[in-house]
Copies of this chain bind each other. A is one copy, B any other.
Amino acid sequence: MDTPAQAPKLQFDTHPSKYRHWILAVDGEIARLTMKVQPFGGANSELELKSNSYDLSVDIELADAIQRLRFEHPQVKCCMITSAHEKIFCAGANIYMLASSTHPFKVNFCKYTNETRLAIEDASQHSGIRFLAACNGATAGGGYELALACDEIVLIDDGSSTVALPEVPLLGVLPGTGGLTRVVDKRKVRRDLADAFSTLAEGVKGKRAVEWGLVDAVVPRSKFADTIAQRARDLAAKATAVPRGPAVELDPIGDYRHVALKLDEKSRRAELTVCGPTEAKRVEHASFWPLRMARELDHALLRLRFEHENVGLLIVRTEGDRKIAHQMGELLMADDGFTREVRLNLARTLRRLDVTARSLFAVVDQSSCFSGPLFELLLACDRSYVLDADGVEVWPGSLSAGALPGWNGLSRLETRFLADPQRAQRVLAAAKEGPIEAGTANQLGLATVFADDIDFEEELRVAVEERASISPDALTGMEQNFRFAGPETLATKIFGRLSAWQNWIFIRPNATGERGALTMYGKPERPQFDFRRT
Contact = CB atoms under 8 A, between A and B. Distances in A.
Interface size class of A (residues with CB under 8 A): 35 or more
Given A168-B470, A481-B498, A511-B473, A104 B534 contact: yes
A505 B486 contact: no
Interface string A75-104: 000000000000000000000000000111
Given A482-B194, A497-B481, A471 B185 contact: no
Interface string A171-196: 11110000011011101111111111
A533 interface: yes
Interface in A472-508: 472-488, 493, 496-498, 500-505, 507-508
A38 interface: no
A464 to B, nearest CB: 12
Given A195-B482, A445-B190, A478-B168, A532 B309 contact: yes
A310 interface: yes
Contact of A502 (B167, B174, B185, B477): B477
Contacts of A466: 169, 199
Nearest to A358: B533
A381 interface: yes
B190 A531 contact: no
Nearest to A494: B481
A201 B205 CA distance: 55
Given A195-B383, A448-B193, A418 B503 contact: no
A262 interface: no
Contacts of A480: 501
Nearest to A185: B485
8 contacts: A168-B471, A190-B419, A191-B482, A193-B448, A195-B383, A312-B531, A473-B508, A504-B507
Contacts of A311: 533
Given A466-B199, A470-B168, A533-B472, A191 B416 contact: yes
A309 B533 contact: yes
Nearest to A165: B478
Given A104-B532, A108-B534, A533-B357, A195 B448 contact: yes
Contacts of A479: 195
Contacts of A198: 478, 482
A527 interface: yes
A53 interface: no
A510 interface: yes
Identify the 7 closest CB pairs spanning chains A and B, nearest first: A172-B471, A188-B419, A500-B500, A504-B504, A488-B488, A477-B501, A184-B485
A417 B190 contact: yes
Interface string A351-384: 0000001100000000000000000000001111
Interface of A: 102-104, 107-108, 167-169, 171-174, 180-181, 183-185, 187-196, 198-199, 213, 268, 309-312, 357-358, 381-384, 415-419, 445, 448-449, 466-467, 469-488, 493, 496-498, 500-505, 507-508, 510-511, 516-517, 527, 529-534
A203 to B, nearest CB: 15
B184 A476 contact: no
Given A103-B534, A477-B502, 15 more contacts: A168-B471, A189-B419, A191-B415, A191-B416, A196-B449, A357-B533, A357-B534, A471-B510, A473-B505, A474-B510, A476-B501, A476-B533, A481-B498, A500-B500, A501-B503
A204 to B, nearest CB: 13
Contacts of A517: 471, 474
A516 B470 CA distance: 11
A188 to B, nearest CB: 4
B213 A483 contact: no
A196 B448 contact: yes
A531 B357 CA distance: 12
Contacts of A187: 419
Nearest to A167: B474
A143 B148 CA distance: 43
A508 B505 contact: no
Nearest to A362: B192
Given A419-B189, A504-B473, A481 B181 contact: yes
Nearest to A500: B500
A184 B415 CA distance: 10
A497 to B, nearest CB: 4
A195 B449 CA distance: 12
Nearest to A180: B481
A534 B112 CA distance: 12
